[in-house]
Amino acid sequence: MDLTTLLKPAAVRVLGHATSKKRLFQDLAEIAHAVYGLNATETIDAVQERESLGPTGVGHGVALPHARLHGLDHVVGVFLRLEKPLDFDAVDRQPVDLIFALFAPKDSGVDHLKALALASRTLRDPGTCAKLRANSDPAALHAVLTEARSSQAA
């Protein structure tokens, strides 16, 4: 499993500003609908339900919201870079500007966890995060994300 299979280039975006976590989840759901055909309402509900179990802001400006959904046959992702960081109730209380959302089939089992670990490892690298924060072009962001893992795996 690698990020090129999880993340389509069209699912990488830069948002100027999200007014709230709820609005951010709506944006994620709209992108997931446009790129992967996911039901936006079900996606929002699933992400909010998962978030109610505990915030997915993992620290250092990174959040990894995720949910399991019906109608998927493999794990897919959406990546957002926010130009203005958002309060996300992260573990370190820092606002979030890099969001990698994952959506997995309801019965995905270990694949969901592997995808989450892959996204987490990628965004734990300070060099990768610095490149992501320095870029506003979605194609370049996709390249940074997909190249980061392949170069570390080699």
For the record, the structure tokens of 88 come out as 């996300």
- DSSP letters, 46-103, are HHHHHHHHS--EEETTEE--EEEETT-SS-EEEEEEEEEEE----TT---EEEEEEEE
Q: Say which of 17, 66, 74, 112 is annotated catalytic.
A: 66
Spatial CB neighbours of 127, under 8 Å, sequence gap ≥ 6: none
- Any catalytic annotation for residue 66? yes
40-53 vs 21-36: helix crossing angle, rounded to 10? 140
- Active-site residue numbers? 66
